[in-house]
C-alpha cells in the first residue's frame, strides 16, 4: 500500500509541477517557478531512492496498477507501473541527473523571458520520461516515447523567434516520427502474435519460443527502427546535432543523458526478444559500431563546442548499441549510466563556458579559460578523462567492458569500436585544450566579461564530476577482483536472456592485455592532441579556408544533410508541389468552385420567378395544383 503511493507519486510530482507552473505561467514569480520545478523533481528522486533501498533481493520487481486504461473485448491495457532493477536505474538517472540540471537551469536561464515556460516543459519532460521507463506495457511506454519527443520538440524550438531553431525542432520531430512508425508497427505485431501488450505476459510467452523465428526478427527489427530514430543512429542521426539549437541544459538533459537513451532502455527491456533474434542483434551491433566510428570522425573537425559534444553523444550511443548487439545488455546499461553522468557534465560545462563567453560557441574564439573558470575547468577535465576512458574514471570501466565483450564476439567489430574510442579521446582533448589551454583568443569586450558561473550552476557540475569520477565503481570487473554490483543488481531483468545465451567472455589475461593496449594508445592519442593544440598551439582553420579531400568531407559532415536534402526532401517537395497544382488546384478546387457556381446561377435564374405580383403567385399555385391533380389521377 505504501509502495503503491510511492510508485504513483514518482511520476505524479513532476506532472503536478508542470501543471502548476504551466497554468500559472504569467502569475508565478520566477524564483517560485524554479523552486517548484526543482522541488518536484527532487521529490521524485527521493522517492525513487527510497524504492531503490526498499527493493530487496526477495522482491526484484513490483507492479502497481493505477487503473484499467483500455478494455475492449480481448484487448485490455492497464495503466500500471513496473518497478524492477532496470526501471529503478533509469528512474534514478532521470530524476537524479534531471534534478541537477533543473538546479543548473535556474542559473543558466536567469533573466530569460520564457523562464517559467522553460521549467514547465522540463517538468513535463521528466514526467513523460518516467512514464516511458516505468510503464509496464508497450502502450504506456509508447505514450512516454511520444511525450518525450514532444517535449524535445518544444525545448529545441524554445527560442521560437529564431526560424533556424524552429527548423531544427521540426527536423528532430519528423526524424523521430520515422522511427516511431517502426516502433508502433512493432508493438502492433507484438499484440497480434502474443495477444497482449504487457511485458510480463509477452516475455513469459517469448521464453518458450525457438530462436531465430521469422516474426520475432521482424518485431525486433521494427522496434529497433524506433530506437534508431530516438537514439540518433545511422541513418536517422542528423537531427541530434541540429537539436543543439535548444538551451544547453536541454541538450544535457534530453539530448545526452535521458531521452536519447530511451532506445537503449527499450532494447534492454525487450532483451529476451532480441536474444531470440540473433540476426537483429547483428544488425544492432553493426549499426551501433558504424555510428560510433562515423560520428567520431565528424566530431574531430567540428568547431562548435556543442556540436562536438552532440556528435560525441551519437558516437557513444553507437557504442551502447554495440554492447546490446553483442548480447551484453548489462554493459549497455552500464555505459548508459556512466555516460549520463559525464556527458551531462560535459554539456553543463559547455553551458558554463558559453555563459561566460557571452553566447559564443566557437572553440576557435576560446582558449585560456582555465584561469577564468577554475571550477568549470576542473569538472570538465574530469568528464573529459572519463569519456576518454582513462582509469579510474567512470567511462573506463563501462567502455572497456563493451570492448571486451565485443572482442569476444567479433574481433572486427572490436577493431572498429576501438578506433572510435581512440577518436573519442582525440576529439575530446582537442575540444578541451582549445577551450581551456593556451591564451585567450576572445575579443576584448568578451574577455572583460569572462567570469565563473554562479553557484547554482557550479554545484551540479561538482556533483556530476564526483559521479563521473567514481560512477564506474558500480561495475568493477572480475579481472580487478570486483563483484560487478550492477551486474548482480540487474541480473533478474536479464535472467530470461541469460538462460538462453550468455554473452561471450574472454579470459582475464586477454582482457588485461586489451585494457593495456586501449589505455596506452589512448594516452598516446592524448599526447598527440596535446602536441598539436597546446605545444604548437594550432587553431582550426576558419570557415572560409580551403579544405582538401577527406578533411573537407569530414568538416561538412560527409554531406549527409545535403544528401538527404537531395534524395528525400527535394523529391518530396516536388511531389507536394505537383499534387498541389494538379490535384488540389485543378481537380478538387474546380469541383468545389463549380458546385458554388451552379448554386449561384440557379439562384439568379429562379429569382426571376419571384415577380412580386400576387396574381401571378395565385395563378402559379392553381396551375401547379391542377398539374399535380392531373399527374396523380391520370399518370
Partner 1 sequence: MNDSVSQMIQQVPLNHYIWLSAALFVIGVLGVLYRRNAIVIFMCIELMLNAVNLLMVAFSAWHGTAAGQVFVFFVMAVAAAEVAVGLAILIVIYHNTGSTDINVLNKLKW
For the bound state, the minimum distance from the C-beta of residue 580 to partner 1, rounded and expressed in Å, comes to 40
d(CA 471, CA 485) in angstroms, rounded, equals 12
Q: Tell me, residue by residue from 57 to 76, as one string, x for binding to partner 1 by CB under 8 A and - for no binding.
A: --------------------
Would you say 210 or 610 has its CB closer to partner 1?
610
Nearer to partner 1, 27 or 614 (CB): 614
Strand segments, DSSP code E, in 27-168 are 62-72, 75-83
Rounded to a whole number of angstroms, the CA Rg of the chain reads 30
Which of 583, 622, 627, 630 is the binder for partner 1 (CB under 8 A)? 622
Residue among 569 and 611 whose Cβ is closer to partner 1: 611
DSSP state of 365: G
Cell of 327: 548480447
Q: Which of 300, 292, 306 is nearest to 252 (CA)?
A: 306
First-to-last alpha carbon distance for the chain, in angstroms, is 83
Give whichever of 56 and 603 is closer to partner 1, judged by the CB atom. 603
What minimum distance in Å lies between the beta carbon of 630 and partner 1?
Answer: 15
| Phi, psi (rounded to 5 degrees) for 544 | -80, -10
Q: Is residue 544 close enough to count as binding partner 1 by CB under 8 A?
A: no
From the list 341, 336, 220, the residue with the least C-alpha distance to 275 is: 220
Nearest approach, Cβ of 617 to partner 1 (angstroms)?
A: 8
Task: Please report, as residue ranges, which positions from 462 to 501 form the binding site for partner 1 (by CB under 8 A).
Answer: none
Q: Please confirm whether the linkage preceding 235 is cis (ω < 30° from 0).
A: yes
Whole-angstrom distance, CA of residue 478 vs CA of residue 35: 44
Q: How far apart are CA 63 and CA 74, in angstroms?
A: 21
Q: Which is nearer to partner 1, 160 or 619 (CB)?
A: 619
User: CB 623 → partner 1: shortest distance, Å?
Assistant: 10
Paired strand residues for 79? 67
Contact assessment for residue 7 and residue 81, using Cβ atoms and an 8 Å cutoff: yes
476 vs 429: CA distance, rounded Å: 25
Report, in Å, the least distance between residue 22 CB and partner 1: 53
Q: Which of 75, 574, 619, 629 binds partner 1 (CB under 8 A)?
A: 619
Nearest distance, CB of residue 178 and partner 1, angstroms: 58
Smallest distance, Å, CB 607 to partner 1? 8
| Residue whose cell numbers read 523567434 | 161
The CB-of-20 to partner 1 minimum distance in angstroms stands at 58
Q: Nearest distance from residue 596's CB to partner 1, in Å?
A: 21
Task: Considering the complex, state which of residue 550 and residue 629 has its C-beta at the smaller distance from partner 1.
Answer: 629
- Nearer to partner 1 (CB atom), residue 445 or residue 613: 613
Over the window 578 to 617, marking each residue x when it contacts partner 1 by CB under 8 A and - when it does not, the resulting string is --------------------------------xxxxxx-x
Contact flag: residue 546 with partner 1 (CB under 8 A): no
Q: Taking CB under 8 A as the criterion, which residues in 110-149 touch partner 1?
A: none
HEC per residue, 95-155? HHHHHHHHHHHHHHCCCCCCHHHHHHHHHHHHHHHHHHHHECEHHHHHHHHHHHHHHHHHH
Name the residue with cell 510467452.
Answer: 205
- For residue 304, list its beta bridge partners: 362
In whole angstroms, how close is the CB of 610 to partner 1 at the nearest point? 5
Cell output for 171: 527536423
Smaller CB separation from partner 1, 507 or 605: 605
Taking the least distance from each CB to partner 1, the nearer of 536 and 604 is 604
Residue 188 sits at the vertex; the CA angle it makes with 182 and 193, to the nearest 5 degrees, is: 125
Closest CA to 351 of 458, 440, 264: 458
Of 26 and 607, CB closest to partner 1:
607
The residue among 544 and 610 lying less far from partner 1, judged by its C-beta, is 610
Number of residues lying near partner 1 (CB under 8 A): 10
Q: Does residue 104 contact residue 457 with C-beta atoms inside 8 Å? A: yes
Q: Which is closer to partner 1, CB of 215 or CB of 617?
A: 617
Distance CA 632, CA 635 (A): 6
Q: Is the Cβ of residue 181 or residue 623 nearer to partner 1 in the bound state?
A: 623
Distances (CA, A) of 316 to 256, 289, 490, 624: 10, 9, 21, 86
Closest CB 172 distance from partner 1, rounded Å: 58
Closest contact distance (angstroms) between CB of 635 and partner 1 is 21
- Please answer whether residues 365 and 320 qualify as being in contact, where contact means their C-beta atoms are separated by less than 8 angstroms: no
C-alpha cell at 563: 544528401
What is the Cα–Cα distance from 315 to 312, expressed in whole angstroms?
Answer: 5
Q: How far is the CB of 629 from partner 1 (least distance, A)?
A: 12
618 contacts partner 1 (rule: CB under 8 A): yes
- Residues belonging to the chain: 635
Q: Which of residues 222-261 bind partner 1 (CB under 8 A)?
A: none
When the beta carbons of 596 and 612 are compared against partner 1, the nearer one is 612
Return the DSSP state at 452.
P
Which segments of 162-213 does DSSP mark as H helices, in order? 163-194, 199-206
Q: Contact positions toward partner 1, by CB under 8 A? A: 610-615, 617-619, 622
Amino acid at each position: 500500500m505504501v509502495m503503491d503511493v510511492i510508485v504513483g507519486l514518482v511520476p505524479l510530482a513532476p506532472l503536478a509541477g508542470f501543471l502548476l507552473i504551466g497554468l500559472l505561467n504569467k502569475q508565478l514569480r520566477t524564483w517560485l517557478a524554479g523552486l517548484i520545478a526543482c522541488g518536484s523533481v527532487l521529490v521524485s528522486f527521493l522517492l525513487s531512492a527510497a524504492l531503490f533501498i526498499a527493493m530487496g533481493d526477495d522482491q526484484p520487481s513490483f507492479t502497481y496498477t493505477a487503473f484499467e486504461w483500455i478494455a475492449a473485448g480481448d484487448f485490455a491495457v492497464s495503466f500500471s507501473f513496473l518497478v524492477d532493477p532496470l526501471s529503478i536505474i533509469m528512474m534514478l538517472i532521470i530524476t537524479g541527473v534531471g534534478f541537477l540540471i533543473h538546479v543548473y537551469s535556474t542559473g543558466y536561464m536567469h533573466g530569460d523571458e520564457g523562464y517559467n515556460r522553460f521549467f514547465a516543459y522540463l517538468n513535463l519532460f521528466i514526467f513523460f520520461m518516467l512514464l516511458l521507463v516505468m510503464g509496464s506495457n508497450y502502450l504506456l511506454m509508447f505514450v512516454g516515447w511520444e511525450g518525450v519527443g514532444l517535449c524535445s520538440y518544444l525545448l529545441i524550438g524554445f527560442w521560437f523567434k529564431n526560424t533556424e531553431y524552429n527548423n531544427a525542432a521540426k527536423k528532430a520531430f519528423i526524424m523521430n516520427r520515422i522511427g516511431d512508425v517502426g516502433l508502433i508497427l512493432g508493438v502492433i505485431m507484438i499484440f497480434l502474435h502474443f495477444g497482449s501488450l504487457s511485458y510480463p505476459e509477452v516475455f513469459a510467452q517469448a521464453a518458450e519460443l525457438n530462436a531465430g523465428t521469422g516474426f520475432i526478427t521482424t518485431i525486433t527489427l521494427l522496434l529497433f527502427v524506433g530506437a534508431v530514430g530516438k537514439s540518433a543512429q545511422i541513418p536517422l542521426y542528423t537531427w541530434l546535432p541540429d537539436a543543439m539549437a535548444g538551451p544547453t541544459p536541454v541538450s544535457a538533459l534530453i539530448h545526452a543523458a535521458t531521452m536519447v537513451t530511451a532506445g537503449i532502455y527499450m532494447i534492454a527491456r525487450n532483451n529476451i526478444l532480441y536474444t531470440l533474434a540473433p540476426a537483429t542483434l547483428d544488425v544492432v551491433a553493426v549499426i551501433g559500431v558504424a555510428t560510433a566510428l562515423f560520428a567520431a570522425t565528424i566530431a574531430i573537425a567540428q568547431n562548435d563546442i556543442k556540436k562536438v559534444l552532440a556528435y560525441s553523444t551519437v558516437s557513444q550511443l553507437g557504442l551502447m548499441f554495440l554492447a546490446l548487439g553483442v548480447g551484453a545488455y548489462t554493459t549497455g546499461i552500464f555505459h548508459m549510466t556512466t555516460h549520463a553522468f559525464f556527458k551531462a557534465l560535459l554539456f553543463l560545462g559547455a553551458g558554463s563556458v558559453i555563459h561566460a563567453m557571452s553566447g559564443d560557441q566557437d572553440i576557435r574564439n576560446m582558449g585560456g579559460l582555465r584561469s577564468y573558470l577554475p571550477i568549470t575547468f576542473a569538472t570538465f577535465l574530469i568528464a573529459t578523462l572519463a569519456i576518454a576512458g582513462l582509469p579510474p574514471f567512470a567511462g573506463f570501466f563501462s567502455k572497456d567492458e563493451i570492448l571486451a565483450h565485443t572482442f569476444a564476439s567479433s574481433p572486427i567489430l572490436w577493431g572498429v569500436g576501438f578506433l572510435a574510442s581512440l577518436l573519442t579521446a582525440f576529439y575530446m582533448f582537442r575540444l578541451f585544450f582549445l577551450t581551456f589551454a593556451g591564451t585567450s583568443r576572445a575579443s576584448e569586450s568578451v574577455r572583460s566579461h569572462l567570469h565563473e558561473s554562479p553557484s547554482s550552476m557550479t554545484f551540479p557540475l561538482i556533483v556530476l564530476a564526483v559521479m563521473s569520477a567514481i560512477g564506474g565503481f558500480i561495475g568493477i570487473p572480475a579481472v580487478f577482483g570486483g563483484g560487478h554490483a550492477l551486474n548482480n543488481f540487474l541480473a533478474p531483468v536479464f535472467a530470461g536472456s541469460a538462460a538462453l545465451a550468455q554473452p561471450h567472455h574472454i579470459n582475464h589475461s586477454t582482457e588485461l592485455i586489451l585494457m593495456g593496449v586501449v589505455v596506452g594508445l589512448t594516452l598516446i592519442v592524448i599526447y598527440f592532441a596535446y602536441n598539436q593544440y597546446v605545444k604548437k598551439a594550432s587553431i582550426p582553420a576558419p570557415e572560409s579556408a580551403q579544405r582538401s579531400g577527406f578533411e573537407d568531407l569530414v568538416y561538412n559532415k560527409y554531406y549527409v544533410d545535403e544528401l538527404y536534402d537531395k534524395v528525400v526532401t527535394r523529391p518530396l517537395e516536388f511531389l507536394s508541389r505537383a499534387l498541389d497544382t494538379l490535384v488540389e488546384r485543378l481537380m478538387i478546387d474546380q469541383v468545389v468552385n463549380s458546385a458554388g457556381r451552379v448554386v449561384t446561377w440557379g439562384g439568379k435564374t429562379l429569382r426571376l420567378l419571384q415577380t412580386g405580383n400576387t396574381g401571378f403567385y395565385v395563378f402559379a399555385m392553381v396551375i401547379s395544383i391542377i398539374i399535380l391533380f392531373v399527374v396523380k389521377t391520370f399518370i
